[in-house]
Amino acid sequence: MSKSIQLHFELPGNDLALAGEASSKVKKTLNQLGLKPAVVKKTAVAMYEAEINAIIHAGGGTLAATIDQEKVVVVVRDQGPGIADLELAMQEGYSTAPEKIREMGFGAGMGLPNMKRHADLLEIESAVGQGTVVTIIVYL
């Protein structure tokens, strides 16, 4: 891999069945590139949770993945309501998700802690009324 590889996806907010489609495609690419299974799994879990959040909490957004010689970087961006208290949101069990989301197996307040657990580096920038940018880095 001499150059970096870039992937970009729109995350539609209106079809919950499609949630995870972008992560699925990125994961496929990571496997095709022959990255270590542990790296692929860490990235897959963290980005899937981030994708789900952008769709269920922010009405959709974008997911961009960049792979170079040393790392995978996934940036999930939305223009939703933002997160007022990030420290609170990071706590296990904290969730504002409605019942409909629980029926999908999410909304237990484990997403952000899961991202933190799986990413080598997790950065979240959020502004109320403007949106949220989640950056996940996993080193190869």
CB 52 within 8 A of CB 121: no
For residues 85 and 27, give the distance between their C-alpha atoms in angstroms, rounded to a whole number.
31
Identity of the residue, 37 or 129, whose beta carbon is nearer to another protein in the bound complex: 37
Q: Which one among 30, 35, 44, 122 touches another protein, defined by CB under 8 A?
A: 44
Q: Which one among 13, 30, 48, 77 touches another protein, defined by CB under 8 A?
A: 48
CB 130 within 8 A of CB 81: no
Q: Which one among 49, 57, 60, 122 touches another protein, defined by CB under 8 A?
A: 49
Determine if 20 is a binding residue for ligand ADP (CB under 6 A).
no
CA torsion 1→39→50→66, rounded to 10°? Answer: -10
User: Quick one: angle between helices 21-32 and 37-58, nearest 10?
Assistant: 160
Determine if 111 is a binding residue for Mg ion (CB under 5 A).
yes
For residues 69 and 38, give the distance between their C-alpha atoms in angstroms, rounded to a whole number.
16
Binding mask 61-100 for ligand ADP (x = CB under 6 A): -----------------x-xxxx-----x----xxxx---
| Residue 133 φ then ψ, to 5° | -125, 120
CB 108 within 8 A of CB 102: yes
Catalytic residues: 49, 53, 102
Binding site for Mg ion (CB under 5 A): 53, 111
Return residues touching another protein (CB under 8 A): 17, 19-20, 23-24, 27, 37, 41, 44-45, 48-49, 52, 103-106, 108, 110-111, 113-114, 117
Give the footprint of ligand ADP on this chain (CB under 6 A).
53-54, 57-58, 78, 80-83, 89, 94-97, 106-112, 132
